């Protein structure tokens, strides 16, 4: 009880503070990881602090003795699960300083985010954990919360590629490529294509977070971090949208949200992906990740040169409302890579 009285939780919109805390936690926890992204202020603006007005998003700061010791970020997404329309909070960068890790600190952050989620109609948390790591701290945390039920997804495994070694057919990025410099018509074409794919997935029975048009447009068109590439030819559209975060030195790591074309077997898939690879090469991006099925067909990823990776790193959904169903057979996923 004494520790609990020393803790307060409140909304935090100082992007520099958020970055400093999250990067220090990641640096300590994953210091031996082969790829360690450095989270940037632009990332937190894009995903949480500067989202469309009607889109609920928050970064919660957890303070002990008025010192920031934790950050819990999330935003609310529509979710249809087993025919039931509800909402879920997609979590990201849940971080607590190693010296401040205490059950009371974690509980304060979780309670704060749950209260905020309920106020926005959400009854689930979704996020990614590694259930088979030697440490497995994330798994223990999310699967041992009293009063919470959980399910791991059997879908959305990760794939990776080294853009520096990829055999793309474009030697250098075209002017403005991948820098959110697209006109409204190109963004409209990308939104139309991607929304159609998402609706097809939703109709398949997979529990996928819904992505309204305004949120999808924001994901595609937020300079300077969102990097959409769109090709339109003969009435068809190809899209590859991604973002990059710095790692060591001037190197980067890439995260791909979408690779799609009107004809998935046609040449536009390779063309738009080659342009994305060229942009990544120019930024010395030596690793890029993408989600597999159902976000992307596994055969397509193999065709483009990706390889499966992190087989145990999977989406997790938890609910604190016993009246709410969990996805059947672990079939759920997120429409963006976060």
209 neighbors 78 (Cβ within 8 angstroms): yes
**Structure token digits, residue 151:** 């399910």
DSSP state, 175?
T
Q: Running along the chain, 338 residues long, what does each successive block of 10 average in pLDDT?
A: 85 98 93 90 97 94 96 95 89 91 90 96 88 61 79 84 81 48 88 92 81 95 96 95 94 97 95 97 96 93 93 82 82 85
Strand 236-246 to 84-96 pairing = unpaired
Cβ partners under 8 Å of residue 73, min gap 6: 18, 44, 47, 48, 57, 58, 59, 60, 91, 92, 93, 94
pTM over the 0.75 mark: yes
Query: What is the rounded distance in angstroms from the CA atom of residue 166 to the CA atom of residue 260?
Result: 19
> What is residue 50's predicted lDDT score, i.e. its pLDDT?
97
> What is residue 137's predicted lDDT score, i.e. its pLDDT?
65
Strand 57-64 to 7-11 pairing = antiparallel
317 neighbors 153 (Cβ within 8 angstroms): yes
Q: Label residue 179 exposed, middle or buried (CB < 10 Å: 0-12, 13-18, 19+).
A: middle
289 neighbors 254 (Cβ within 8 angstroms): yes
Look at residue 328 and give its three-state secondary structure.
helix
294 neighbors 200 (Cβ within 8 angstroms): no
Query: What is the rounded distance in angstroms from the CA atom of residue 243 to the CA atom of residue 118?
Result: 30
């Amino acid at each position: 009880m004494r520790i609990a009285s020393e803790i307060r939780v409140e909304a935090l919109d100082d992007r520099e503070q958020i970055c400093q805390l999250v990067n220090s936690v990641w640096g300590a926890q994953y210091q031996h990881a082969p790829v360690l992204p450095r989270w940037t202020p632009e990332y937190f603006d894009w995903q949480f602090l500067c989202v469309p007005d009607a889109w609920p998003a928050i970064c919660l700061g957890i303070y002990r003795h008025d010192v920031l010791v934790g950050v819990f970020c999330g935003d609310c997404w529509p979710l249809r699960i087993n025919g039931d329309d509800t909402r879920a909070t997609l979590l990201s960068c849940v971080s607590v300083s190693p010296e401040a890790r205490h059950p009371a600190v974690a509980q304060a952050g979780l309670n704060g985010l749950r209260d905020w989620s309920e106020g926005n109609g959400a009854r689930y948390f979704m996020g990614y954990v590694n259930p088979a790591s030697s440490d497995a701290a994330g798994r223990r945390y999310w699967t041992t919360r009293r009063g919470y039920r959980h399910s791991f997804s059997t879908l959305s495994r990760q794939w990776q590629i080294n853009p520096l070694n990829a055999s793309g057919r474009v030697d250098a990025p075209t002017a403005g490529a991948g820098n959110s410099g697209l006109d409204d018509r190109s963004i409209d074409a990308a939104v139309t294509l991607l929304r159609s794919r998402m609706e097809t997935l939703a109709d398949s029975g997979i529990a996928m977070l819904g992505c309204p048009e305004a949120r999808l447009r924001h994901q595609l068109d937020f300079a300077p971090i969102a990097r959409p590439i769109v090709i339109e030819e003969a009435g068809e559209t190809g899209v590859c949208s991604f973002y990059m975060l710095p790692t060591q030195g001037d190197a980067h790591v890439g995260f791909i949200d979408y690779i799609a074309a009107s004809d998935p077997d046609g040449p536009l898939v390779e063309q738009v992906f080659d342009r994305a690879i060229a942009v990544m090469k120019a930024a010395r991006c030596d690793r890029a990740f993408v989600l597999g099925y159902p976000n992307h067909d596994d055969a397509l990823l193999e065709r483009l040169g990706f390889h499966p990776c992190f087989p145990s790193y999977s989406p997790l959904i938890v609910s604190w409302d016993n009246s709410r169903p969990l996805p059947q057979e672990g079939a759920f996923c997120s429409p963006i890579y976060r």
